Chain A
Amino acid sequence: MSARRFTWNRDFWPLLIASTASFVVVMIVAYHEYTPEWRHYTLAFRSYLTGRGAYDAAAAVPDNVQQIWLPELDRVDRCISCHVNYDGSISTLPDLPPLYRPHPDLPYMAKHPFPSFGCTACHGGQGYALDAAGAHGLVEHWDDPLLTTKLAGEYGLTRAQLMEIKCNTCHRSDDSTPGTDSINMAKEIFERKHCTSCHGLQGGGGLAASDLTYDGDLDPEYLDFSNVEGPKTTLNWQVQHFKSPQQVIKRSGMPNYKLNDEQARGMALLMLSWTRISFPPQYVPAARRRPAVVQPVVREVPYPPNATTPLGQQGRYVFTNRGCNSCHRVGGGKLIGPDLEGVTHRRNDRWLQSWLKDPAAVVAKDPELQTWSHEFGDIIMPNQNLDDKEIDALIAYMKEFPESAPPTPAAAPQ
């Protein structure tokens, strides 16, 4: 290699290019950092106010990140970095652009002040974010989107109705909360239809079906959408399930309550509102409760009577395992379905076999049963998909029930 002068500028041009390039990218980084999206909106607000002559208001527009920090609710809401005039403290001019309008002063706002509740607790969204798409939760990997009119419209709901999910997350112990009409209706249906006879809830309720206490936390990836039409969302699944349980879950033992669209949507909203949320005592709302109404709860029903014959014991096993005792008592009056004490003296074996095989087919052939079912909330016993062996065992078991007088239509549950 030939000798080189000591002071030769090795790599002169590459170094110049690399230095320039690194300087340029650092400048781009600085530009990126100092021109965040929210700043665009606050500066636009300033110039808007200046244009309307509100100079004091324009000076009051902040030029940094704004946030409502809620450690007790374990969240931070930075929505107000863009929605700077959320509380009307900057300007109360009429006809402000939507982004800069103060929050409407609704009747319950006094009880839900911003410093204590923030924004996302009621509206959804990603409070941590500072860009519009991220903050509105319209991004991957964030499953609490902003509740908008558009989103509500996909389910035939209004925005206020969709937001009732959020209200009831905290107000679930109310029998009825002013302002949440859909949820109130749903709670009334829930009580009237005795859902807790089969479903567990808050430590009580039945054992035959799923526990609903935190049904809103059920992960959508665990739901079966193969028979669900429409969007693949938990809310849609719930609505379809309430409209027709057997359509969504093929072998469901849940009766079809013939809810109309509005009722099914309300029930779905109720289910989605039951989520895990913890907050300190000062946030717990005073429960609005009517005097307690005793509900028939399966866990308080005594076990069905013992059996003596082997086949009868098998039948008792089926009776408890397949949830017959969630709806039928043996002595003690009607529950969801009629009291089965002495049923084998009222119906013969063949009738019982065809009933247990397919109740709907038996009802279709016997109109008298249709009128009779009025007493039981117009519900026909859902097909429990029993096989012949189970049916024989059940009939053998029912034959061991003590004889009794036929239940009168007016018999009320204890």
Chain B
Amino acid sequence: MTMRARLIRLWRWVTWTWSPASEREASTAIVENLWLHWFPAKVAEASFSWSYSLWLGAISAFLFLILTVTGVLLMFFYVPSTQQAYWSIKDIHYVVGFGWLLRNQHRWAAHLMVLVVFLHMLRVFFTGAYRAQRSANWLVGVILLLLTLFLSFTGYLLPWDQLAFWAVTVGTNIAKEAPLVGAALRFILLGGTEIGQSTLVRFYVLHVFVLPAAVLALFAYHMWRVRRDGGMAVTDPASAGVDEPREASPVAGKTYSLFGVTPGTSLETRAAGPFGDEAATFSAPHLLRRLMLVFLAVFTLTIVLSLISGAPLEEPANATLTPNPAKAPWYFLWLQELVAITTLRLGGLTLSGGLIGGILVPGILLAAGVAWPFLDRSPLRTVGRWFPRERRLQNTVLCIIAFIMLVLVLIGMLMRGPYWQLYWPWQAWPEMPRRL
């Protein structure tokens, strides 16, 4: 055999599963590749629709991947000590090779992930993909959303600058307002009564290990669950207008039992959608190509954003000087606005805005979100469709809630100045005095 032929054979041996040369190879590729058997051998063509899912779930997964890679690299340089954290970030930005990129990209991916996860949740709700067997996955998704927010919150403290210190002050003071457990919750979060070294270490451990591990575990279940629940909702037979799923006839093949492989009929999910050769597509290479496209787009976007705008770093944290105004991270700004709005002073009494705006309102929203799959009464045939008439009321309500949250966030970001006074975005704030 010539050298060229050997090289080609070597190349094929390494890469055949990613670009299978025949349908048979495509089927076995999934099973014979560690990474690829994450996916089913075939996926419904309907799942590829851009307009159905906007591929938001995949986007958030890739953002998490970017966060993990940039995060691990940042971990080689960041020091979680109140004396050194701020300066280690200065060094990362100025001196570490591509450090500026790592930091900016990490920050942008974090903000985008919070946004995309939220949008993904909205999409799943609007398409009714939380009904029946998918309610378990919806609950897992809600937990993943909370984990994402908590990951972002713990990461926010790590630069140990004024922005970080006081944003976490605002957040943990809202947590303190929870009834019965509030004070204890704040104590556990802070590792004491004040934000200090114990808080920093605690948030660091949560941020780099505990929470990512929890996300990975739940994400794995979340993905497996999609397959177990019969794929994406848009592929459900009911939504495709097929009243009875076509029973696939058993195919002679392998059956995987607990202790080995026994000859017999192949495994098939009986509740599958109208899978025929027409509606199914091999995951290798088609799903892989699509995922590669999504990844490249997400990657390019985070890099472009990193080039345009850097991660902020304000003055070193100073417990004796509160910035005026002190703002929570943007995804909690709607909560801070609610807290400010519901804090009412009537004579000598103060109505606790922290409890109402910070605990009760989000608590009710969360409870409603968790309970909704079990309260929903719309017909199953509307699952997997955007804004069907039968779910119009609940979808409208969620639209309104999301819009209010958006407005509150924008007000908090653009229109709140010193002493939480309202300023138009073009209105100048009072000049801040300097030392020299």
Contacts and interface: CB of A to CB of B under 8 A. Distances in A.
Nearest to B432: A221
A234 B436 contact: yes
Contact of B293 (A11, A221, A272): A11
Contacts of A76: 91
A4 interface: yes
Given A6-B26, A233-B436, A21 B315 contact: no
B311 to A, nearest CB: 13
A241 B119 CA distance: 56
A297 to B, nearest CB: 28
B15 to A, nearest CB: 15
A363 to B, nearest CB: 36
B87 interface: yes
Interface string B293-310: 100110110011011000
Given A151-B436, A235-B435, A29 B289 contact: no
B141 to A, nearest CB: 27
A49 B94 CA distance: 28
Contact of A6 (B161, B279, B282, B433): B282
A18 B295 CA distance: 9
Interface in B200-231: none
Given A6-B282, A19-B296, A128 B303 contact: no
Contacts of B97: 33
A28 B101 CA distance: 11
Contacts of A110: none
A1 B433 contact: no
Interface residues of A, number: 48
B436 to A, nearest CB: 6
Interface residues of B, number: 48
A221 B433 contact: yes
A22 B296 contact: yes
A67 B95 CA distance: 10
A99 interface: no
Nearest to A32: B307
B14 to A, nearest CB: 20
B300 A6 contact: no
B434 A233 contact: yes
B290 to A, nearest CB: 6
Nearest to B23: A6
A15 B87 CA distance: 41
Given A10-B289, A29-B303, A128-B87, A225 B433 contact: yes
Given A128-B87, A220-B433, A234-B436, 11 more contacts: A22-B303, A26-B303, A29-B306, A128-B90, A128-B94, A129-B90, A130-B95, A141-B161, A143-B434, A144-B435, A221-B324
14 contacts: A6-B282, A11-B293, A15-B293, A29-B101, A29-B303, A67-B95, A78-B94, A128-B90, A128-B94, A141-B313, A143-B434, A220-B434, A220-B435, A234-B433
Interface of B: 22-23, 26, 45, 48, 87, 90-91, 94-95, 97-98, 100-101, 161-162, 277-279, 281-282, 285-286, 289-290, 292-293, 296-297, 299-300, 303-304, 306-307, 313-315, 318, 320-321, 324, 431-436
